[in-house]
């Protein structure tokens, strides 16, 4: 995930609004107590997600892949007054950890945290989404996109994380299944006439998609 020199990365961090105390605590405890802590969105990406959410002021956000809840808390910051975020994760082992941090947040009442298979949960959600954030298993990125595209309002956004996949997507020699799936996902977005998109080299790559 390291795409720019460490000194430039630190300069960016130093000139970005800091995490609040709860996010900083969640960041520390994720790295100290949870496996695969590199999956955490982290400071820069978290502030970017918060900034987008504040710009859009969504009424309903769907997040596919909660992990420890960092990105959900960031996205929730920009919700409209009566808005909410539905965040879905399949990992029951982290449920208590995540719910504890959500309860510590003043945004807790806006967060609908569901444990289960997103492929089964998404079809039963009737309301239209203003933002969808996809950050789950890479093998199903295309499936998640297909499930949500018709549920996103016109002018709404889909954001997909890890679309640079540690730089593997541009390496022809990388042919593992996850890399191939991310490449196919990126091409599918690029070829989809229903949307406009930009791939940003933020952390491990964010694909930002606006539905026309």
Residue 111 lies in a domain: yes
Per-residue pLDDT, 37: 86
- What is the CATH classification number for the domain harbouring 25? 3.40.50.150
Q: Is residue 162 part of a domain?
A: yes
Strand partners of residue 63: 87, 133
Burial class of 118 by CB neighbour count within 10 A (0 to 12, 13 to 18, 19+)? buried
Please give the order of strands across the beta sheet that includes 111-115.
111-115, 84-89, 60-64, 129-134, 152-161, 206-211, 195-200
Q: Is residue 1 part of a domain?
A: no
Rounded to whole angstroms, how far apart are CA atoms 111 and 177? 33
Number of folded domains that form the chain: 1
pLDDT, tens digit (0-9, with 9 covering 90-100), for 34-67: 988 888 899 999 999 999 999 999 999 999 999 9
pLDDT one-digit tens code per residue, 95-113: 999 999 999 999 999 999 9
Q: What's the pLDDT score for residue 1?
A: 64
58: containing domain: 6-211
């Amino acid at each position: 995930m390291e795409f720019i020199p460490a000194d430039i990365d630190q300069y960016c961090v130093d000139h970005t609004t800091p995490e609040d105390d709860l996010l900083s605590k969640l960041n520390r405890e994720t790295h100290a107590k949870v496996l695969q802590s590199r999956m955490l969105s982290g400071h820069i990406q978290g502030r970017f997600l918060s900034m987008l959410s504040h710009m859009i002021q969504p009424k309903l956000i769907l997040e596919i892949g909660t992990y420890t809840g960092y990105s959900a808390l960031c996205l929730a910051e920009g919700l409209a007054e009566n808005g909410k975020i539905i965040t879905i994760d399949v990992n029951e082992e982290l449920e208590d950890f995540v719910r504890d941090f959500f309860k510590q947040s003043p945004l807790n009442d806006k967060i609908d945290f569901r444990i289960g298979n997103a492929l089964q949960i998404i079809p039963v959600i009737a309301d239209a989404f203003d933002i969808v954030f996809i950050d789950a298993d890479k093998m199903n990125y295309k499936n998640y996109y297909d499930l949500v595209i018709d549920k996103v309002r016109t002018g709404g956004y889909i954001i997909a994380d890890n679309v640079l996949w540690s730089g593997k997507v541009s390496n022809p020699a990388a042919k593992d299944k996850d890399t191939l799936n991310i490449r196919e996902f990126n091409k599918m977005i690029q070829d989809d006439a229903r949307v406009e998109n930009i791939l940003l080299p933020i952390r491990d790559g964010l694909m930002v998609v606006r539905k026309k």
